Chain A
Amino acid sequence: MNPEIPDLRFAQSGMTIKMKVNKMLINGIELKKIRENLWEIPATGEMRVPGRIYISQKMIEKNLQDGEALKQVMNVAYLPGIQKYSLAMPDIHWGYGFPIGGIAATDIDEGVISPGGVGYDINCGVRLAITSLDHNLVKNKIDKLVSNLFKNIPAGVGSHGAIKKLSQSDIKNVLEKGSAWAVENGLGDNSDIEFTEESGTLKNANAGSVSERAIERGINQAGTLGSGNHFLEVDIVEEIFDEKTASVFGLFKDQIVVLIHTGSRGLGYQICDDYLGRIMKASKSYNFSLPDKQLACAPINSHEGEDYFAAMQSAANFAWNNRQVIMHLARKSFKDTFNITDSELGFKLVYDVCHNIAKIEEHKINGKTKKVCVHRKGATRAFPPGSKMIPAKYREVGQPVLIPGDMGRYSYVGVGTEKAMEETFGSSCHGAGRSMSRKKAMKEARGRNLINELKKEGITIQAKGYKTIAEEMPMAYKDVSEVVNVMHDEGITKKVAKLKPIGVIKG
């Protein structure tokens, strides 16, 4: 397009656009095209920085027409100390406070930390484990395997009792040591620690900053999936895009792998709730101008900010321990089903990433390396080759980025890039993102037998309730390929492998 000729073909809400445009106007929000899959919301009003969204024009037209998520990108730009841009990934959708898929980095001296930038399910995340088994060996026993997984891993509302109820001293150790607690208690291997983001422990966690009620809610939930979009999937490696990186990650075609998605359960919800209340009460003294109460925040170096950060890290450690225990229970389920030894099963962790977190990291801002607090709300860390923050084994290729899709189609394994460090504070997308409300999904599911439909596609599913299956039906989600392709084409994350589900357990 000739830059001399202004392109004012604005797209109005609800319009079907067939042509490529350089600007859009959605519910009064202006979007300017920067690159093919990168759009900018200019800073207006009290926005301290512009907003930037990695997304295709087609996805904007299909998914963002109500303007709610775009408004949230703008709202995040009000946060004191925010650096460069209020960012969003292509799985962006309407959340609370931050949009889901939102990223913001704040200056650690003059900036803030916001519980709304992390969310209630602190360190909700994903872990991928490989096996030595291939599809041929597993396909005839998949029903039995799913049944054993469902029996051994508690799922559903308020699920509990996967392992013995933790003592007060155990829970303190879980909060401060993370998945190391599970390994010390025979629920995993040392290599599991090595291949977990931050080695499964955020070091500044402090159990003393966690309320009694939060502990009460978490003490019996280690090793439980919970409900909603949480799941455990048995997948086949269906396609390899990058042989070298796949080989470093231990992936091969037709291999059976396991994907686990859950977080810090009731303990994390309570911590977010406790500190939102406290920070909101204190916020009058800070006199910040914020457009949404859910963005309540405190200076990182204030008492409220420091206490929240310590409690949030405790919840993150609880979540890593949770996924570690689930992985151990999954390993046991495989061994019981196939009557094989550990060495025959070859169950190993590829990586565990969190996607609801705030972390102090070093990034280049205006050419200078600076410490910032990176809030990732429905976004994944995606560090590049050479990063000292990733396991030595992966330093040649980069950090594995795990991107679940929906239970009927596929998920992806990607790898972090230098471009992510330059543009997105080393972050990528975290999943498909919903395209349909739960209510709409229930309506779509009416009169259908989704369990049989999935079975015909070669997927065995077991869930505590049919309602969850209906709400989480594949069509309720965007096609994760579209999301991943935006990240791949923009060079933020490169595709490594595609996984296809054959067994699913849900709450």
Chain B
Amino acid sequence: MSSSYSFVDHTADIAVDIKADSLEELFIASVQAFKEVVVEPDSLTSKEKYIIKLDSHSPESLLVNFLNELNYRLTYKNKIVNNIINMKIAQTDGNWNLVCTLEESDIDEDKIKTEIKSVTYHQMEIKEDKGKYSTRIVFDI
């Protein structure tokens, strides 16, 4: 399994292209890109576990909600995710569901380098081609 992301030059905001071998990997790589935007690389050790359960009407909306949840936890709970375990994404009855466990640490406000207002839907389209997944994410900052 592999995944990658690369930042795209965007005049006002931050855009990133994500690629992965599975939907779950795509979501996890999106979190890595999100972290690169918001905090400096650090060797924080995870202290707490937090289970996230989300459901949404589309995979794009699920990804936006997931990243916005992490952004909320960062800016208002001062929690940064270090690791994601047991991520499962499934589609049932037309709804997309996500469940995973976040391993998080407390982070000092001063260590947050960029405030993301929100994760946008602009140019976001999760595509699957021969088992490879990709999307673009634009963060409003």
Chain A interface (Cβ within 8 Å of chain B)? 93-97, 100, 116, 119-121, 156-158, 213, 216-217, 226-228, 266, 269-270, 272-273, 276-277, 280-281, 284, 292-294, 296, 434-440, 464-465, 467, 507
Contacts and interface: CB of A to CB of B under 8 A. Distances in A.
Task: Kindly name the residue among A119, A158, A226 whose own CB sees the greatest number of chain B CB atoms within 10 A.
Answer: A158
B112 A158 contact: yes
Nearest to B122: A96
B14 A438 contact: yes
Contact of A158 (B10, B57, B61, B75): B75
A272 B116 CA distance: 14
A25 to B, nearest CB: 21
A292 B10 CA distance: 17
A158 B111 CA distance: 12
5 contacts: A97-B121, A157-B113, A228-B115, A296-B121, A440-B9
Contacts of B114: 157, 227, 467
B124 A293 contact: yes
Q: Is the interface of A mostly helix, strand, loop or mixed?
A: mixed
A272 B118 CA distance: 9
B2 interface: no
A277 B63 CA distance: 12
A280 B9 CA distance: 27
Given A158-B109, A213-B72, A95 B61 contact: no
A228 B141 contact: yes
B50 interface: no
Contact of B120 (A93, A96, A507): A96
Nearest to A378: B12
Interface in B42-79: 56-58, 60-61, 64-65, 68, 72, 75-76
Interface of B: 7, 9-14, 56-58, 60-61, 64-65, 68, 72, 75-76, 109-110, 112-115, 117-118, 120-124, 138, 140-141
A100 B13 CA distance: 11
A95 B13 contact: yes
B121 A94 contact: no
A255 to B, nearest CB: 32
Nearest to A72: B122
Contact of A467 (B7, B14, B113, B118): B113
A97 B115 CA distance: 20
Task: Kindly name the residue among A266, A284, A507 whose own CB sees the greatest number of chain B CB atoms within 10 A.
Answer: A266
A266 B75 contact: yes
A157 B109 contact: yes
Contacts of B7: 439
Q: Pick the 9 closest A-B CB pairs, nearest first.
A: A96-B122, A293-B121, A157-B115, A96-B120, A294-B122, A120-B117, A227-B115, A269-B117, A157-B112
Contacts of B57: 280-281, 284
B12 A157 contact: no
